[in-house]
Amino acid sequence: MDKIDFVMIWVDGNDPNWQAEKNLYDKSNKKGDSTEVRYRSWDNLQYWFRAVEKFAPWVNRIHFVTWGHLPEWLDTTNPKLHVVNHKDYIPKEYLPTFNANTIELNLHRIDGLAEQFVYFNDDMFITSPVKPDDFFKDGRPCDTYALDCIYFGKKSAGFFNGNDLEIINTHFRRKKAMKENFSKWYSPKNGFKRNIKTIALSMWPWFPGMYYSHLPSNFLKSTFETVWEKEGDVLDETCRDKFRTKNNCNQWLMKFWQLASGIAVVKGTKGGRCFHIKDSLFDEMLRSIETGRYKLICVNDTVNTADFEKQKQQVIDSFSKLLPEKSSFEK
């Protein structure tokens, strides 16, 4: 089996040194994204490591990317763990950065990173057993082939999505790309509703948008290298922004490239779910964590989180029921 690495980025929003450095640049951040929701900690990181050890023991290596701070409980001597500081892989002209897009778009530069890797945000967890072929088959990333619309709502990611698609449509002709991979774009595995939407949107001569889920992403390192080679100037502009701005591209560009080029393998859409923390779904999310209902789950913080401290403790309690035992990544 080819090696598969996991990459996870994390920031300790409570670190006073990090806050001080961020505040030096935040003063000029008139257009950027620097809200508390993006950085506050849910104090549940140890459960991410417990889940990986229990449910994905086959992983080759974990690349844990941080600004420089580390959890006190983390055992950095674990042979599967590679602690990566921003300055270890992000070009110095982009540092310091508080832009997640910069951190993500340069992941291929991590020393020793396997060609196949799964990228996690720190709010994305494994909650039941997963196999390598849930992520890659025959050296190709698994994904869902489906067209979608771009929503440019307030505080949405539509602007990044749109910028990504502008690049995709520069390099790929939709009709030709979909014809060459017809069985993938119209596979039953994509789901009936997504296939209907794909059919409806295929009247456009360009890619109007592509489906994505707020769950871990399966990437080939070579995809990043290819896109940087072809669109280095555009990616450079994004990486020079200290905070996320509307003219940025993001890591979905790599996902869309893998789909438009036909590199990806079709997978089913079941097995994972993103919960945006709102009162109406909060209890369902807690039950899903405790029971391991899904293979993958995202616990996504939002401005609609009603009582952060209370809900944070409830999430911790639910994870402790699913994963009560320490992992070898904990001291």
Q: What one-character-per-residue DSSP string does 130-147 give?
A: --GGGTEETTEEEE---B
Domains of the chain: 4-322 (3.90.550)
Q: State pLDDT tens for residues 301-318.
A: 766 666 778 888 999 999
Instruction: Return d(Cα 95, Cα 149) in angstroms, integer.
Output: 34
In this prediction, residue 300 carries a pLDDT of 85
In this prediction, residue 311 carries a pLDDT of 87
In this prediction, residue 35 carries a pLDDT of 54
Question: Range with the lowest mean pLDDT among 53-62, 93-102, 266-275?
Answer: 266-275
- How do beta strands 116-120 and 217-220 pair? antiparallel
Q: State pLDDT tens for residues 132-171.
A: 999 999 999 999 999 999 888 877 788 999 999 999 999 9
Question: Range with the lowest mean pLDDT among 68-72, 92-96, 179-183, 277-281?
Answer: 277-281
Q: What is the DSSP letter of 330?
A: B
In this prediction, residue 152 carries a pLDDT of 83
Tell me the range of 6-20, 50-64, 142-156 where mean pLDDT is highest. Answer: 50-64
Instruction: Return d(Cα 319, Cα 313) in angstroms, integer.
Output: 10
The mean of the pLDDT values for the chain is: 92
